[in-house]
Structure 1
Amino acid sequence: MAIEIGQEAPDFEAESNQGTVKLSSLRGKKVVLYFYPKSFTPGCTRELQRFTELYSEFKQNNAEVVGVSVDSVSTQKRFAEKYNAPFPLVSDKEKKVATLYGVLNEKGTSAQRVTFVIDENGKVVAVLRNLKKAEEHADRALEIIKGKA
């Protein structure tokens, strides 16, 4: 079941390249929770690079960015290091987080490319899916965070 606008973002705790991430511990900040299919693939790499380029603007707008894929923690660490990602990349190897958010692909092998924008109170205010380019997720999420979308 997919999470919709207006719903409370399901809490989760999972390992990332930066240690354990618990969504509810980010209350009081806006959160951009973006799911991507696979580290080191062209689209996912461009998406990560764009979120990294815009990260200081997210921070200026009281927002945190968290990426999630079904890759292992060691893969997430290599992916983050290679592209200097300043935010956590969650390893969802058990596919629990992707299942919680209803973003597993039809085969159940990886997450779809879907971005959730969550407000300071933990409510989902936007769901971005089916954008033409992977890197558009970062730009659109930032517009929403800034209140321009």
Structure 2
Amino acid sequence: MLTLGDNVPDFTGQTNDGEWTLSAFRGKKVIIYFYPRDNTPGCTTQSNDFNAHIDEFAAKNTVIVGVSNDSLKKHQNFSDKYGFKFPLIADEDKSISELFGVYQLKKFMGKTHMGIVRSTFLIDENGQLLQQWRNVKVKGHVASVLSVI
């Protein structure tokens, strides 16, 4: 699991616009947010909140990318439905989720299963992990992220 100050290993993920590679964004801050599933209430609210503030992030030299284990097709439908202005990585093999330590055993409605624990990471212009938010509560989260950039 990554800890603050670590250099984040380079990785590449698939989006509907092609490959997304972390190192391509050197010189910019990167927000990577992990969410459990497309088109669910909390994930939709979180993604819409990031989208609503994308210009504020851009003004702070920061790009946003969302990650879940959903397919590219599901991501395309989700993004088209809400008009997201940032890419969504389809981490179907869970390699990126595991790199960040967010693919974990979870409890939901009395049952345990493996899945993504909602988390956000701020990576600096040189690829170093600056901040992390784990077990994120959606309400007020994007404002909290913006306040530390």
Task: Map Cα deviations across residues 36-68 of structure 1 (whole Å, 9 max, x no partner).
Answer: 010111000000000000001001110000100
Aligned equivalents of 2:76 and 2:49: distance in 1?
Answer: 18
Residue aligning to 1:40 = 39
Q: Bigger radius of gyration, 1 or 2? A: 2
Paired residues in the alignment total: 143
% same residue: 41
Deviation at 1:25, TM superposition (A): 0.6
Runs of 4+ in structure 1 off by over 3 angstroms are none
TM-score, normalization by structure 1? 0.91
Residue aligning to 1:139 = 143
Residue aligning to 2:18 = 19
Quote the RMSD (CA, aligned, Å).
1.3
Name the one with the larger strand percent.
2
Structure 2 gap ranges (5+): 107-112
Counterparts in 2 of 1:1-149, with a 5 A limit? Answer: 2-106=1-105, 109-131=114-136, 133-145=137-149
Aligned equivalents of 1:59 and 1:53: distance in 2?
Answer: 12
TM-score, normalization by structure 2? 0.91
Aligned equivalents of 1:121 and 1:44: distance in 2?
Answer: 29
Structure 1 gap ranges (5+): none
